[in-house]
Each structure stands twice: as C-alpha cells, then as structure tokens.
Amino acid sequence: MVLSNGKFLIAPAAWIFPVLFLFAIKDMSWKLAWISLSLVTALSNQLSFHKMLPELPIPMFEFIPAAAGFLYAIPFVWQKIYFSKARSFLATFILPCTYSLLDFTNVYFNPYGTFGVLGYSQHDMLPIAQFASFIGVTGITFLITWVASIIYWVSLDFTKRRRVAIISVTALALIVTLGGLRMYIHQHEETVAVSGIHTVDRTDSDVLEIFTLHKKDMSDFVEKAEERMDGLLELTVAEAKSGAKIIHHSEGVIVIDESQTSMYLDKLKKVARKYQVYILTVPYIFTAEEEPNENVLYIINPEGDVALEHYKYGGNAVENTVMGNKELTTVDTEYGRLSGIICWDKDFPAVVDQIGELKVDILFIPSADWRELSPYHTIVGNFRGIENGANVVTQTVNGMSMITDYKGQVLTKMDHFSTDHWVMRGHVPTEGVTTFYSLFGKYLVGCIILILALTIVYIHRLERRKKLNH
C-alpha cells in the first residue's frame, strides 16, 4: 500500500496489496482484522504522503494521511464479513464498492482534495489509465479492488470457479487492449507552440523575503516587484520571438501589490498585441491588510484584452486568498477552446469536470509545488485531462512541468530541480475529445451505491433463507 500511492505511485503495487490484505486477514476474527489492518493502512498512508502536505499551524495536521489511511481498513473487513455470509460471486462487489466510495468521499467532501485516490497509481500504465475517460480515476480504483476481490473469491474454491477466473482474466485483458487501441486510434493533427515559464525558486531567500517586505517596506517591495516584472516580461518576449503562440506562466510567477496590477497587465497586453500571442499569467496580489490576498489567473488575447479571469478556489482557507466561485470559463481561439485552473484547483474533480462539459481542448494548470509533492501533483492534473478529454499544460514552480495529450501521453516535461532555466517548450494538440466520463461520470457514484445496496440486500436475504432452511 505504501508503494501504490503518494510519492511512489508504483502501478503493480496497487494491484498486489489488496490481494495480500484479504489473505492476511482470512483466518482472523473481524475485530482483530479491523484493528490489525487499521494500523497497517494508517502507517502505510502516512509513509506514502510523508512531507507531501503543506506545513500549517494546525495541531496534528501532518498526521491527516494516517487518519485517512485508518478508514481504508474498513472495506477489507467488510469484504471478509460478507464472504463469511455468502460465497456468491455478488459478494465480490463489497470491497470495490466500499473502497471506491471512500475515494468518492475525497472527491466530494475532503476540503483538501483528492489526495490518496488509488486510481492515480496507474498513470504510467496508460492502457489502464484510459479507463479514466470512461468512468474516471475512481473507476480505476473500483477496477483494481474488484480484481483483488475476485482473485480471493476464486482461490476459495478454484476448481469450481475456474471458469469465472478465465472470464475475469479475459475481461481485464480486453480492457487493457481497448485502452491500448484508444492510444492509437486518433493521432494528433494540428498543434500549437506553447512555452511555459517560471523565474523563481520558492525556497530562495530573496523570494521568501518579498512576502515579509510588503509589510516592512512598501517602497522597497514595489521596486523589487518591478525588477522581477521586467525580467519576466523580457523572458516572455523572448519566447514570443522564438515562435510560441501561447505563453504560460506558473502560479505565483510574480508577487505584486494591488496598486501594481493594472500596470502589470498593461505591460503584458502590449506584448500580446505586438507579437500576436496569448499570455496566461498568475500574479499573487497583496491587497489591503484586512482583505484576503488574490491568487488569480488571467488569459490575455492577441487584441490585448483580458479574455479570462479565474480566481483559485482550492485551498483558500489554508492560503488565505480570495475564494473563487468554482465556475470555470473558456476562451475560443484559433488554437481550440482554452481554459485554466490554478494548482490546488485540480484536486477537486467535481469542479474540474466542467472542463468536459464545456468541451475544452487545452487546459492550463499553472502550479506551485515542493520537492516531495512532485511529480504526484502534476499527475493529478493529467488525470483531469484524461477524464474530460482535454490536453493539459502544467507549468510548475518547484515541481514537474508537463504537457500531456488527452490520453495522458507525455509530450514534453521539465523538472524544476534538474535545471536552472525554467522554460518548457512544446507543441500541444489543438483538439480534445468528448469522453463517456464527461457525459455520464457524475452518475458513477450513484451506480456504485446502488450496486452496494443491492449486493447487501441480496446477501442478507440469502443468509435469512439459509437459516429458515435449517
């Protein structure tokens, strides 16, 4: 379990540990199984996400992974209990349904997003990852845990259940085959040259100083902000001259005071008009002392207009910034339909699913991470693209920058920690696709609840009938 999530994301490990857990608790009482497995899952999750959470002045905050991991013992214990009640094939649905519902709890109710969803482990197994375009990343969780449940069920009486084993292996092979075919059916035709830029390292003392300088010495702050602004504009112009048609800045690419916002945007507008490019920028804006600061994304078109404005909605309580309205907007261009979200936003698929509904072709995700969180957090955004049929461009300060197509194939990438020239160049497909998930994905959780309810009712009726017969 440790290796299947968090900083590791080793795909085979995700398929192995659920099977081992089921066999490990086979001969235990359900109480002993629950206690033992809870300790294992809590420790495993804590190790998987060690130092991946932001450092916050909240008591025990760093142990949230352990608390979440503690809950993931419950599906295995439930599966054990229901296998003891009935040996019907339907009983195999208990583990995948309950495990997936815990992942869905992350999707809909976790204020920190979908950290820990098992399906992310398959990012390197692209034929399996394609399944996310059908039933989402949580659907991959369902598939992995259902396979584990079936393997265990078949092992209880292999001679009589050999046919089910053959059918299951064939079905899984078919899923992998279809996923592989999806990667080759539709090849990219038209692309657009995109450059991603960031200019700072978040751990640099000069960068850290700028945040305190705003309160200590406003004139010095303004002067240094303008110096950084000039450096960023120079690099943006260089990329425009090199042929980039869309220039994408990272999150927090520059820190400015609200009094500088108009000047900063005006300078970018002039560059956009002169070189006929689209510029996506995300300044961090200090506001009046009693007001939350702003973390806002702008897309400036070649006419020099702000065509899109998006306020970050993920993690605002932690970052103390203006809360976005969670309504995504788009810009129609000659390079397809564009949209953008900021970093932590991508951890909320219930909101990002609008990308599929809006038929976005290219999704930009300017981000800011740290070493331990990379590349996990970039991978999360790639799955939003697979689910919603969008090509994804992620420019990440202190993390992994990456361009992927709507199938999750990596077209180019740049690791912040392996270079000191933080410019990523690549060609992005200008056309996305409509996925099954974008049309019907919102009904998946209801289907899983229905399957679980029917399975439980069936098993209890079967158990009652056996008692009456005896």
Residue 29 has pLDDT above 80, yes or no: yes
Q: If phi over 0 gives left and psi between -120 and 50 gives alpha, with beta otherwise, what is residue 447?
A: alpha
**Domains in the chain, start-ordered, CATH in brackets?**
2-186+442-469 (no CATH), 191-432 (3.60.110.10)
Cα–Cα distance between 70 and 63 in angstroms, integer? 11
Whole-angstrom distance, CA of residue 275 vs CA of residue 58:
47
Per residue in 126-141, pLDDT tens? 999 999 999 999 999 9
Reported confidence tier of residue 436, pLDDT bands at 50, 70, 90: very high
Report the pLDDT averaged over residues 20-31: 96
What's the whole-number mean pLDDT along residues 199-216?
Answer: 88
Q: Quick check: 61 and 52 in contact, CB under 8 A?
A: no
Beta bridge partners of 340: 364
Q: Supply φ then ψ for residue 298, to 5 degrees.
A: -120, 140
The reported pLDDT for the residue numbered 408 is 97
**Residue 84 pLDDT:** 93
Report the mean per-residue pLDDT for the chain: 95
Radius of gyration of the chain (CA): 24
Q: What percent of the chain has pLDDT over 90?
A: 87
362-378 per-position pLDDT tens digit: 999 999 999 999 999 99
Residue 427 phi/psi, 5-degree rounding, is: -115, 125
187 pLDDT above the threshold of 80: no
- Specify the pLDDT at position 470: 66
Q: How confident is the model at residue 302 (pLDDT cuts 50, 70, 90)?
A: very high
pTM of the model: 0.96
